[in-house]
């Protein structure tokens, strides 16, 4: 029996400006479980601002964001607990090892310690042999891999990924695609941005273009 889809993200009247420039202009959309968006746009179009606003890093000027039925204004901590974020910045502590970073994040989100030991993503992302390596010694690509694993540790319902393919080799990019498809199949939602025109994340991901603060179908 097919599980009924539910709305995991609902955005109404979302606007964000920097000075006189309106980056996001009265955005209205919903994302159901098992589906998502791939958002493209020119440099400076607001893709990163869009994800930073959804992830609560940046506060919108207007509008509402509801995640898993709870408004950001009502309970921001709950909303953050349902979101996994991979941003341009790794948000990792460079002086700590890979494992120390992941353990720290796990404790913040009340994730049992054994969840890290049992996490198969570590080997899939090629991190199982780098757990004791300081993040500061990792390449940008490997830091991105750590960020991807960290974003999944607390079993979020929504994944927000800002150009996640940057720095990844073809093999790891294939793992990422598989991860996203499995996440959608399990009833999660994914919103990601990309600068690659031919990157395909599957039929469950709607392709959109961000221009002049508006989301529109990719022609």
30-40 pLDDT, tens digit per residue, is 999 999 999 99
Which range, of 2-6, 50-54, 126-130, averages the lowest pLDDT?
A: 2-6
Residue 171 CB coordination number (10 Å): 10
pLDDT at residue 26, as a whole number: 96
pLDDT at 38: 94
Place of tokens 């179009």: 45
Report the distance separating Cα 64 and Cα 44, nearest Å. Answer: 23
At residue 4, does pLDDT exceed 70? no
Residue 51 contacts residue 85 (beta carbons within 8 Å): yes
Tell me the pLDDT tens digit for each residue of 59-71.
Answer: 999 999 999 999 9
Pairwise pLDDT comparison (70 vs 3), residue with the higher score: 70
Range among 39-43, 106-110, 159-163 with highest mean pLDDT value: 159-163
Average pLDDT, the chain: 91
Domains and CATH numbers, the chain: 1-82+156-219 (3.40.50.300), 90-155 (no CATH)
Q: Report how far residue 134's alpha carbon sits from residue 161's, in angstroms, rounded to the nearest whole number.
A: 24
pLDDT of 202: 76
Whether the pLDDT of residue 8 is over 90: the answer is yes
β pairing state of 7-18 and 21-32: antiparallel
Query: What is the crossing angle of helices 98-108 and 140-152, to 10°?
Result: 30
The two structure tokens encoding residue 66 = 């509801």
Q: What pLDDT does 183 receive?
A: 95
**Model confidence over 88-145: pLDDT tens digits?**
888 999 999 999 999 999 999 888 877 788 788 899 999 999 999 999 999 999 999 9
* Structure-block tokens of residue 58: 């940046």
Tokens at residue 115, please?
Answer: 């969840």
- Against a cut of 0.75, is the pTM above it? yes
Band the pLDDT of 1: cuts 50, 70, 90.
very low
Report residue 205: phi and psi, to 5°.
Answer: -105, 115
Got the DSSP string for the chain?
Answer: -PPPP-EEEEEEEEEEEETTEEEEEEEEEEEETT-EEEEE--TTSSHHHHHHHHTTSS--SEEEEEETTEETTT-HHHHHHTEEEE-SS----TTSBHHHHHHHHHHHTT--HHHHHT-THHHHTT-TT-TTSBGGGS-HHHHHHHHHHHHHTT--SEEEEESTTTT--HHHHHHHHHHHHHHHHTT-EEEEE-S-SS----TTEEEEEEETTEEEE--
């Amino acid at each position: 029996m097919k599980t009924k889809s539910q709305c995991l993200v609902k955005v109404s009247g979302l606007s964000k400006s920097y000075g006189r420039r309106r980056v996001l202009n009265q955005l209205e959309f919903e994302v159901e479980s098992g589906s998502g968006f791939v958002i493209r746009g020119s440099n400076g179009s607001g893709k990163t601002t869009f994800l930073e606003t959804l992830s609560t890093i940046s506060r919108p000027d207007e509008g509402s964001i509801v995640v898993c039925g709870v408004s950001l204004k009502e309970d921001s901590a709950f909303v953050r607990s349902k979101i996994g974020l991979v941003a341009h910045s790794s948000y990792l502590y460079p002086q700590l090892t890979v494992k120390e970073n992941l353990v720290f994040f796990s404790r913040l989100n009340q994730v049992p310690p054994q969840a890290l030991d049992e996490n198969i993503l570590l080997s899939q992302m090629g991190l199982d042999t780098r757990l004791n390596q300081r993040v500061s010694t990792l390449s940008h690509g490997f830091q991105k891999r750590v960020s991807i694993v960290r974003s999944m540790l607390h079993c979020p319902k929504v994944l927000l990924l800002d150009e996640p393919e940057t720095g990844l080799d073809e093999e790891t990019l294939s793992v990422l695609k598989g991860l996203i498809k499995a996440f959608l199949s399990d009833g999660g939602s994914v919103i990601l941005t990309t600068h690659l025109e031919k990157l395909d994340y599957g039929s469950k991901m709607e392709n959109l273009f961000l221009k002049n603060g508006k989301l529109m179908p990719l022609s």
